[in-house]
């Protein structure tokens, strides 16, 4: 049902335009109005409330200035996709403070009875982080993310190179829908009840066979656990196998969602340098000599974000280090199927008789991230422990979906789809590389990746990659911001251009936008002091 204004504005002695803004904020906060939703026109709102249109316009201007709503040219006003973080309603009053001392006193009354301005100011700082509070007064811990995860609705209609995910237009909808229907018709009773948290046995069998055949891993069904994507796998490992305060090495340019899971479990994260051969294992060794390291999390097959592969020499050194220091190696092998040249490098887990490695895989890259299907391989005792943790967190996976995907694997359909995805990705990689060579050769330095869904390009030092991202976003091309991958400042002056979601003509348009916005990324030259004179 479309949103409509409440019949009455809240009581109060503030001007009507502020009370109207307050009412809209209230509806956004309680979810009656959601991010991206269009507001009725000012004329309609004025008519509904029986107020002058200028009053509504003043109210909308107030809401815009505070970031609650945003206008889209020729389309109207929309609820903002990134809402002001837990902004207290009294902010409205604080703006009014500027124009009227009377309003300030009223604001103080409203914000907490007899409390003075000083407390009010302190209170506002609360919202900065450490002790944020809900409207009911419960303390909230500091926010987990600096940047919100990608909000697709806010960027509908844009070209996306910000997230290396499969093109949804290539998703085998019919195949999966048929398999899902068949398995439910056949085994509905078994699939729709409580069962093992380890995963549907057919999917465990199918994944184990796939890992044996394609990744050289001798993996039995009791050495596997299904998860809702790699993210749950990393979280389970962090919660179950790490203790608060454990030191965990991570790639200094790396995958922030994994860092968040590890840090949330209380781990102390220690960044290790990455170069064109992947993680600097010698640096990891030095760190392990200085500190008691419990684990290392890494993406050896295609390092995220730079796409390089950990060299064979470093792989051997890493496994020796793991043995020497009894390190848990958390191997995130997120896109191993999408290797273009030769055979994919075998995972670390394939040469790990003592089982230092916890191996994590996902179907997000070959099917779709929205399915939330991933898996984890470890020794049977670890799997049993993690299954218990999964029970506590999630009870069990989505059995109907797991059974349907198992059927796709058993029938060879998933493997056919993977081959198609690989061809598409290779074609798109080449198309992107050609376009970049043609239009931006002087500004970007890159090697076409040997697999995966994104191309890593170093940006000419005269240009600022972050400014380029901002300008491209404003022109309709979404790019990942470099700060996203850097453990600590400064971020790399590079772009990670995901090509997997875009067809050739779209890639051409994307590169045109990059070319058009390059000027905005030019760094300002420091103004030199005038020479001469006395």
Ligand X SMILES: Cc1ncc(COP(=O)(O)O)c(C=O)c1O
- Using CB under 6 A, list all residues that contact ligand X: 164, 229-231, 255, 299, 304, 332, 334, 362, 364, 369, 374
Name which of 240 and 484 has its Cβ closer to ligand X: 484
For residue 406, the minimal CB distance to ligand X (Å) is 18
Name which of 299 and 517 has its Cβ closer to ligand X: 299
Q: Which residue is nearest to ligand X (CB)?
A: 229
Please, what sign has the CA dihedral across residues 299, 303, 309, 313? negative
Name which of 331 and 464 has its Cβ closer to ligand X: 331
Name which of 90 and 256 has its Cβ closer to ligand X: 256
For residue 164, the minimal CB distance to ligand X (Å) is 6
For residue 274, the minimal CB distance to ligand X (Å) is 13
> What is the helix (H) or strand (E) element at residue 247, kind and residue range?
strand 247-251
For residue 163, the minimal CB distance to ligand X (Å) is 7
For residue 520, the minimal CB distance to ligand X (Å) is 27
For residue 485, the minimal CB distance to ligand X (Å) is 10
For residue 397, the minimal CB distance to ligand X (Å) is 13
- CA dist 454 and 445 (Å) reads 14
For residue 57, the minimal CB distance to ligand X (Å) is 43
- For residue 317, give every residue at least 6 positions away whose Cβ sits within 8 Å of its Cβ, in sequence order, or none: 281, 282, 285
Name which of 58 and 250 has its Cβ closer to ligand X: 250
For residue 131, the minimal CB distance to ligand X (Å) is 31
- Report the Cα 258 to chain-centroid distance in Å: 10
Contact 284, 251 (CB under 8 A): no
Cα torsion through 348, 165, 519, 448, rounded to 10: 50
Q: Give the single-character DSSP code of 242.
A: -
For residue 234, the minimal CB distance to ligand X (Å) is 8
User: Exposed e or buried b for every residue in 291-314, given b needs 16+ CB within 10 A?
Assistant: eebbbbbbbbbbbbbbbbbbbeeb
Name which of 278 and 374 has its Cβ closer to ligand X: 374
Contact 20, 49 (CB under 8 A): yes
Pairing of strands 274-275, 159-160: unpaired
- For residue 425, give every residue at least 6 positions away whose Cβ sits within 8 Å of its Cβ, in sequence order, or none: 338, 340, 452, 453, 499, 500
3-class secondary-structure state, position 342:
coil
Name which of 257 and 448 has its Cβ closer to ligand X: 257
Name which of 68 and 456 has its Cβ closer to ligand X: 456
Name which of 229 and 278 has its Cβ closer to ligand X: 229
- Complete edge-to-edge strand list for the sheet that includes strand 494-498: 444-446, 454-459, 494-498
Name which of 332 and 407 has its Cβ closer to ligand X: 332
DSSP state string for 444-506: EEE---SBSSEEEEEEPTTB-HHHHHHHHHHTTEE---GGGTBSSSSPPSEEEEE-TT--HHH
DSSP state string for 369-415: GGG--EEEE--HHHHHHHHHHHHHHHSS--HHHHHHHHHHHHTTHHH
- For residue 415, give every residue at least 6 positions away whose Cβ sits within 8 Å of its Cβ, in sequence order, or none: 409
């Amino acid at each position: 049902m479309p949103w409509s204004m409440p019949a009455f504005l809240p009581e109060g002695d503030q001007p009507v335009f502020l009370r109207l803004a307050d009412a809209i904020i209230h509806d956004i906060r309680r979810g009656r109005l959601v991010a991206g939703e269009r507001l009725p026109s000012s004329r309609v709102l004025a008519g509904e409330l029986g107020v002058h249109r200028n009053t509504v316009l003043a109210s909308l201007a107030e809401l815009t200035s505070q970031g609650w709503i945003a206008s889209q040219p020729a389309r109207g006003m929309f609820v903002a996709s990134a809402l002001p973080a837990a902004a207290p309603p009294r902010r409205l009053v604080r703006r009014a403070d500027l124009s009227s001392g009377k309003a300030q006193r009223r604001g103080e009354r409203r914000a907490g009875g007899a409390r003075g301005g000083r407390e009010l100011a302190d209170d506002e700082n609360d919202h900065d982080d450490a002790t944020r509070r809900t409207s009911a007064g419960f303390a909230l811990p500091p926010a987990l993310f600096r940047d919100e995860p990608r909000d697709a609705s806010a960027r509908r209609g844009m070209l996306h190179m910000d997230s290396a995910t499969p093109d949804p237009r290539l998703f085998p909808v019919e195949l999966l829908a048929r398999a899902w229907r068949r398995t439910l018709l056949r085994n509905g009773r078994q699939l729709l009840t409580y069962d093992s948290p380890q995963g549907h046995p057919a999917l465990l069998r199918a994944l184990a066979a796939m890992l044996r055949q394609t990744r050289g891993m001798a993996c039995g069904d009791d050495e596997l656990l299904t998860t809702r994507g790699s993210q749950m796998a990393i979280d389970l490992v962090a919660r179950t196998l790490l203790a608060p305060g454990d030191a965990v090495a991570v790639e200094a340019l790396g995958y922030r969602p994994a860092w968040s899971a590890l840090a949330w479990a209380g781990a102390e994260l220690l960044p290790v340098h990455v170069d064109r051969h992947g993680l600097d294992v010698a640096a990891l060794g030095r760190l392990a000599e200085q500190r008691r390291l419990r684990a290392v999390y890494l993406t050896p097959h295609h390092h995220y974000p730079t796409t390089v592969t950990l060299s064979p020499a470093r792989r051997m050194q890493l496994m020796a280090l793991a043995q020497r220091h009894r390190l848990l190696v958390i191997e995130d092998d997120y896109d191993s199927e999408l290797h273009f040249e030769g055979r994919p490098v075998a995972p670390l887990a394939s040469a790990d008789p003592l089982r230092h490695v916890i191996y994590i895989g996902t179907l997000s890259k070959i099917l779709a991230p929205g399915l939330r299907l991933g898996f984890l391989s470890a020794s049977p005792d670890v799997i049993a422990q993690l299954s218990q943790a999964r029970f506590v967190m999630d009870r069990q996976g989505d059995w109907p979906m797991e059974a349907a995907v198992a059927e796709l694997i058993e029938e060879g359909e998933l493997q056919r789809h993977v081959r198609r995805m690989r061809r598409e990705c290779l074609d798109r990689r080449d198309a992107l590389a050609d376009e970049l060579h043609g239009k931006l050769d002087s500004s970007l330095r890159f090697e076409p990746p040997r697999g995966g869904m994104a191309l890593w390009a170093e940006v000419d030092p005269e240009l600022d990659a972050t400014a380029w991202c901002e300008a491209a976003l404003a022109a309709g091309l979404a790019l990942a911001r470099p700060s996203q991958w850097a453990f600590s400042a400064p971020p790399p002056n590079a772009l990670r251009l995901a090509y997997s979601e875009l067809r050739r003509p779209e890639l051409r348009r994307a590169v045109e936008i990059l070319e058009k916005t390059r000027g905005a990324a030019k760094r300002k030259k420091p103004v030199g002091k005038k020479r001469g004179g006395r």
